[in-house]
């Protein structure tokens, strides 16, 4: 008897960690600080919500099937936005809209890989990437990051087999927060191109990159569609997490193959989410710039306040976008400490073991802190609680 695909992988860390909260009563003077998930907790701006509400009442098309690869107006608007952001020329036929960025990744892997193929992913990894590879019979080849939490091109090349189909990079990174240098991305692109592989770059958090201007020049390369597939999410930019709107930029021939997957799974992206995303592109440029400034202020608060923890043996390994990635000083495993932190410090954060293979010892030493929903004062409170905690 064969094993169902879902049994080939682990439980989502977000789902698992929420179970740790069951039955726990948090003191009124010490409410829960939830730094486990990187998602906005507030509603989108009122204007965006109003546009969606008007569509519900007045636009019949908002309730009907649409094109599998997304509405033409949103594809055109996103192509123009990508072109501006990366100082390149992207056309609407190189862009597809998906039901969230996780689906963008799933469609990409389904179009690139067959049973038993290999995909290289840096460790620590984004857990949903690993889960999807497991459930599709694709083998994840772990690429351990090195200094600065950055992956090595040479070590990636050493992992390539005849079954390798792609290399996956996430920048700014989830879970470490690290922004990959443009030169590193170019080197990975050249490696993928030379070896006939696809470079998948997930830039879900691109809108919160601390660098000004284009974060890399991959879209400026004349042959980029032959090698690069870019993934994006509207969820973080416009607080549309519940509406599931993501995107892919790739060669039209590749989108043609992905369309088969998307048509089978969701038929089309949700209309209301697409309407909201389009309104966001057209109207929320200044608002999003302010959101970015707030996230960068929180990043600065992490870096400025971390000496409080460093004095107690903690180490800051990476920081950027929505995340800080840290090493703890205790003998116990990160998972044991994480469970105790819920009850003893009213803190929920994910251990590093949830972002890497079970046999990797680094996981027991590390944590991801997602600070998207913790303001500067909350960050100070978090550090005070962690500093006071004694395992």
Q: How far is CA 293 from the centre of its chain?
A: 19
Place of tokens 């960690």: 17
Scored b (16 or more CB within 10 A) or e, 355-388 reads bbeeebebbbbbbbbbbbbbebeebebbbebbee
Give me the phi and psi of 368, to 5 degrees please.
-105, 130
Phi, psi of 325 (to 5 degrees): -120, 125
Looking at residue 7, its pLDDT comes to 87
pLDDT, one tens digit per residue, over 42-76 is 899 999 999 999 999 999 999 999 999 999 999 99
Residues 117, 139 contacting (CB under 8 angstroms)? yes
* Average pLDDT estimate for 263-290: 97
Does residue 124 have a cis bond before it (omega within 30 degrees)? yes
- The rounded distance, in Å, linking the Cα atoms of 279 and 384 is 41
The count of C-alpha atoms lying within 13 angstroms of the C-alpha of 318, restricted to the half-sphere facing its C-beta, is 28
Please compute the mean of the pLDDT values over residues 159-168 and round it to a whole number: 98
- Quickly state the pLDDT bin for 254 (edges 50, 70, 90): very high
User: At residue 168, what are phi and psi to the nearest 5 degrees?
Assistant: -110, 130
Domain 5-43+287-388 coded CATH 3.90.1150.10: yes
Strand 33-34 to strand 347-348: parallel, antiparallel, or no bridges (unpaired)? parallel
Sign of the alpha-carbon dihedral angle for 350, 355, 358, 364: negative
Q: How confident is the model at residue 372 (pLDDT cuts 50, 70, 90)?
A: confident
Q: Is the pLDDT of residue 260 over 80?
A: yes
Summarize pLDDT for 215-251 with one digit per residue, the tens: 999 999 999 999 999 999 999 999 999 999 999 999 9
What pLDDT score does 178 carry? Answer: 97
The answer to whether the beta carbons of residues 5 and 135 sit under 8 Å apart is: yes
Average the pLDDT over 136-147 and give the result. 96
* 63-284 to CATH, choices 3.40.640.10, 2.40.160.20, 3.40.50.920, 4.10.220.20: 3.40.640.10
pLDDT reading at 2 higher than 80: no
Q: In terms of C-beta distances under 8 Å and separation of at least 24 residues, what long-range contacts does 76-84 make, across chains too?
A: 77/278, 77/281, 77/282, 78/232, 78/247, 78/277, 78/281, 79/249, 81/281, 82/219, 82/230, 82/232, 82/249, 83/219
Token duo for residue 57: 């009442």
> Which residues partner with 199 through β-bridges?
167, 228
Confidence tier at 18 by pLDDT (50, 70, 90): confident
C-alpha torsion sign, points 218, 274, 12, 335: positive
The domain locations on the chain are 5-43+287-388, 63-284
User: Which tokens is 187 given?
Assistant: 């080197």
pTM: 0.95
- Give me the mean pLDDT over the 107-127 stretch: 97
Residues 14-35 as b/e (b if ≥16 CB within 10 A, e otherwise) read eeebeebeeeeeeeeeeeebbb
């Amino acid at each position: 008897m064969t094993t169902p695909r879902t049994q080939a992988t682990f439980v989502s860390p977000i789902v698992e960690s929420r179970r740790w909260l069951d039955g726990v009563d948090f003191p009124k003077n010490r409410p829960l600080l939830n730094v486990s998930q990187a998602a906005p907790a507030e509603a989108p701006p009122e204007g965006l919500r109003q546009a969606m509400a008007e569509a519900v009442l007045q636009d019949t098309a908002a309730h009907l099937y649409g094109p599998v690869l997304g509405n033409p107006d949103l594809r055109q608007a996103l192509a123009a936005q990508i072109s501006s952001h990366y100082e390149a020329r992207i056309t609407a036929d190189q862009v597809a809209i998906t039901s969230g960025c996780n689906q963008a990744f799933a469609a990409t892997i389904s179009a690139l890989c067959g049973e038993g193929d290999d995909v290289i992913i840096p460790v620590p990894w984004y857990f949903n990437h690993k889960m999807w590879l497991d459930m599709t019979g694709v083998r994840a080849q772990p690429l351990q990051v090195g200094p600065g939490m950055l992956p090595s091109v040479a070590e990636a090349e050493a992992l390539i087999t005849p079954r390798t189909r792609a290399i996956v990079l996430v920048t700014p990174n989830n879970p470490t927060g690290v922004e990959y240098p443009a030169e590193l991305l170019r080197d990975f692109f050249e490696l993928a191109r030379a070896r006939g592989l696809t470079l998948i770059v997930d830039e879900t958090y691109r809108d919160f990159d601390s660098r000004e201007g284009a974060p890399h020049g991959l879209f400026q390369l004349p042959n980029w569609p032959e090698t690069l597939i870019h993934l994006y999410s509207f969820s973080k930019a416009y607080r549309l997490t519940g509406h599931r709107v993501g995107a892919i930029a790739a060669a039209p021939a590749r989108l043609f193959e992905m369309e088969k997957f998307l048509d089978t799974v969701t038929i089309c992206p949700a209309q209301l989410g697409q309407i909201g995303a389009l309104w966001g592109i057209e109207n929320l440029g200044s608002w999003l710039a302010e959101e970015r400034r707030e996230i960068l202020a929180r990043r600065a608060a992490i870096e400025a306040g971390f000496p409080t923890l460093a004095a107690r043996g903690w180490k800051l390994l990476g920081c950027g976008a929505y995340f800080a990635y840290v090493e703890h000083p205790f003998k116990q495993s990160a998972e044991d400490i994480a469970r105790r932190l819920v009850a003893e410090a009213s803190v929920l954060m994910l251990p590093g073991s949830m972002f890497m293979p079970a046999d990797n010892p680094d996981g027991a030493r590390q944590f991801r802190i997602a600070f998207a929903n913790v303001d500067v004062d909350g960050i100070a409170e978090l550090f005070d609680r962690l500093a006071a905690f004694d395992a």
